[in-house]
Amino acid sequence: AQSVTQLGSHVSVSEGALVLLRCNYSSSVPPYLFWYVQYPNQGLQLLLKYTTGATLVKGINGFEAEFKKSETSFHLTKPSAHMSDAAEYFCAVTRNTGGFKTIFGAGTRLFVKA
**Under rule CB under 8 A, residue 63 binds other proteins:** no
Measuring CA to CA, how many Å separate 75 from each of 40, 98, 99, 102, 108? 22, 28, 26, 18, 12
Give the nearest distance from C-beta 77 to other proteins in angstroms: 20
Among 7, 17, 44, 86, interactor with other proteins by CB under 8 A: 44
**Under rule CB under 8 A, residue 22 binds other proteins:** no
Among 18, 20, 56, 106, interactor with other proteins by CB under 8 A: 106
Measuring CA to CA, how many Å separate 78 from each of 35, 37, 105? 13, 13, 19
**Under rule CB under 8 A, residue 7 binds other proteins:** no
Q: Estimate the share of the chain in helix, then strand, then coil, as percent rounded to the nearest 5.
A: 5, 60, 35
Which residues contribute to the site for other proteins (CB under 8 A)? 32, 34, 36, 42-46, 49, 51, 90, 92, 94, 96, 98-107
